[in-house]
């Protein structure tokens, strides 16, 4: 793995020389730590990380609340003394879900704000546009908010790590659940017209085979009309429809089908399966009826009675102005927890290299319902998901959990992580 480069632009040459001399001395002394000043985004008492998020634009309705939840979790950590006596500063910049804007704000975060790491940059088209840039500048690119397999490339992008269960895993798990529960039904797929939809379909076909998908339709996020796609699926006699959709298009598909008098069984990726968000989008008057029995994949502790959810609700009330509590809240705080855990493991004087090594060590636990899969040769977070079902207006796990091992999908037992130390990691 390449050693991270230290940015010295605008730094006095004598100061740069002093840092270099200290580094040489450290090489000669066992146990000597790199001074905080040598690492961008690290001071004696603050760690600065950044992100690009769709606070406005076409993805804002489903995802704009994530970064606020992450910041609220960091406020909780900071109130407890931070990590190794450093508070976490989270710099959030709006990219409007536009790759060109993503490139601009990420350069600002790296070159002007001097962030230690990029954390949970959201979206496949947006984040893929800065993937090489972050690698070239040796900025740890952590826990990307997308299920694309692009982030699992230890050789090509050694500092990049995913967070979501990838789309192949989710497609395979949902297809296996559909096959197990309703073996004789016609299975169809509606997906986004990019790698989200393509990789999800590939996962479905690992279970059903290419001939096992009765019909496949795709949509573009630039077109808010899926009437033609829903009509085609209905005409094909689809009984179970698997969705590679973001929340807005999940609601659009379900609502359009309802207007056409059609009600297949819906099963969605975690990216578009958050019940509270869907209720908000569809309306409280019709959503409970349309979404009864709605199935989704998930990998985070979203059970309504769980100890993590109870903690996150408390944090949300105290540090996030009591914003609506939904899957985005749990997601954002879970990302924050995982970063805090990695930072704690990176040492008292963390460097970008020690941060990456902490994640690759395989010792991080996270707070998911299955063990993390991070390692030196694996930069994906989860290789399995659980199945949630909406019953009487409550979305919860039903016990069915699947993992993808190579080409095989297997049923596994969930292994939820217990809450410790009020949700503040220690080394």
Q: What is the pLDDT of residues 11-25, one digit of tens each?
A: 333 333 333 333 433
- Least confident stretch, 32-46, 181-195, 351-365: 32-46
CATH architecture of 167-298+387-411: 3-Layer(aba) Sandwich (3.40)
Residue 34 scores a pLDDT above 60: no
Say what the pLDDT of residue 37 is: 52
Say what the pLDDT of residue 222 is: 86
Sequence-ordered list of residues with C-beta below 8 angstroms from that of 81, at least 6 positions apart, any chain:
none
Residue 284 scores a pLDDT above 70: yes
Residues 291-309, mean pLDDT to the nearest whole number: 94
Between CA 240 and CA 179 the distance in angstroms is 10
Q: Is 275 helix (H, G, I), strand (E, B) or coil?
A: helix
Between CA 301 and CA 385 the distance in angstroms is 11
CATH architecture of 41-165+305-382: 3-Layer(aba) Sandwich (3.40)
Length of the chain: 427
- Least confident stretch, 53-67, 249-263, 326-340: 53-67
Edge-to-edge strand ranges of the sheet holding 295-298: 213-219, 187-192, 240-244, 265-268, 295-298, 384-391, 394-405, 408-411
Rg (CA), the chain: 22
| Residue 2 host element (H or E) | none
Portions of the chain given CATH number 3.40.50.2300: 41-165+305-382, 167-298+387-411
Helices (H), 191-294: 195-208, 227-235, 247-259, 275-282, 287-290
338-375 tens-digit pLDDT? 999 999 999 999 999 999 999 999 999 999 999 999 99
Q: Is 198 helix (H, G, I), strand (E, B) or coil?
A: helix
Whether residue 122 contacts residue 105, with contact meaning beta carbons closer than 8 Å, is answered with no
Say what the pLDDT of residue 45 is: 97
Instruction: State the helix-helix crossing angle for 327-345 and 275-282, rounded to 10 degrees.
Output: 150
pLDDT class for 58, splitting at 50, 70, 90? confident
Say what the pLDDT of residue 4 is: 35
- Give, in order, the Cα–Cα distances in Å from 112 to each of 104, 105, 108: 11, 10, 5
Say what the pLDDT of residue 11 is: 34
- Give, in order, the Cα–Cα distances in Å from 291 to each of 139, 177, 269, 330, 394: 42, 18, 15, 21, 10
Residue 412 scores a pLDDT above 50: yes
Total Cβ atoms within 10 A of residue 228: 12
What is the share, in percent, of the chain residues with pLDDT greater than 70?
91
Higher pLDDT, 76 or 11: 76
Average pLDDT, the chain: 91
Residues 178-185, mean pLDDT to the nearest whole number: 95
Residues 82-104, mean pLDDT to the nearest whole number: 97
Residue 6 scores a pLDDT above 70: no
Residue 26 scores a pLDDT above 50: no
123-167 tens-digit pLDDT? 999 999 999 999 999 999 999 999 999 999 999 999 999 999 999
């Amino acid at each position: 793995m390449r050693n991270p480069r230290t940015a010295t632009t605008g730094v006095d040459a004598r100061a740069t020389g002093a840092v270099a001399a200290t580094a040489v001395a450290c090489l000669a002394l066992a146990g000597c730590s790199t001074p905080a000043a040598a690492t961008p985004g690290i001071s004696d008492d603050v760690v600065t990380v950044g992100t690009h998020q769709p606070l406005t634009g076409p993805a804002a309705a489903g995802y704009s609340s994530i970064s606020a939840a992450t910041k609220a979790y960091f406020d909780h950590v900071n109130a407890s003394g931070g990590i190794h006596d450093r508070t976490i500063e989270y710099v959030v910049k709006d990219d409007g879900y536009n790759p060109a804007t993503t490139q601009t704000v990420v350069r600002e975060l790296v070159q002007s704000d001097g962030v230690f790491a990029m954390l949970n940059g959201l979206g496949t088209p947006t984040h893929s546009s800065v993937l090489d840039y972050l690698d070239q500048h040796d900025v740890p690119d952590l826990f990307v908010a997308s299920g694309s397999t692009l982030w699992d490339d230890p050789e090509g992008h050694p500092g990049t790590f995913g967070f979501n269960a990838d789309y192949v895993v989710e497609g395979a798990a949902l297809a296996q659940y559909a096959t197990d529960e309703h073996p004789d039904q016609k299975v169809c797929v509606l997906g986004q017209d990019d790698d989200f939809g393509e990789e999800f379909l590939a996962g479905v076909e690992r279970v059903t085979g290419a001939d096992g998908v009765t019909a496949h339709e795709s949509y573009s996020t630039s077109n808010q009309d899926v009437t033609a796609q829903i009509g085609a699926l209905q005409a094909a006699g689809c009984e179970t429809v698997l969705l590679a959709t973001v929340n807005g298009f999940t609601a659009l598909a379900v609502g359009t089908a309802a207007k056409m008098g059609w009600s297949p069984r819906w099963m969605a990726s975690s990216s578009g399966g958050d019940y509270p968000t869907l209720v908000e989008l569809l309306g409280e008057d019709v959503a409970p009826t349309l979404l009864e029995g709605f199935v989704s994949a998930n990998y985070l502790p979203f059970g309504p009675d769980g100890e993590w959810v109870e903690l996150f609700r408390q944090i949300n009330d105290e540090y996030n102005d009591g914003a609506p509590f939904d899957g985005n809240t749990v997601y954002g705080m879970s990302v924050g927890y995982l970063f805090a855990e990695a930072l704690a493991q990176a040492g008292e004087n963390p460097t970008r290299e020690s941060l990456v090594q902490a994640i690759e060590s395989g010792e991080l636990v996270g707070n998911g319902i299955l063990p993390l899969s991070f390692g030196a040769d694996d930069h994906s977070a989860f290789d399995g998901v659980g199945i949630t079902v909406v019953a009487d207006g409550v979305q919860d796990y039903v016990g069915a959990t699947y993992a993808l091992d190579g080409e095989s999908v297997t049923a596994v037992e969930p292994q939820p992580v217990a809450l410790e130390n009020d949700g503040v990691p220690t080394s």
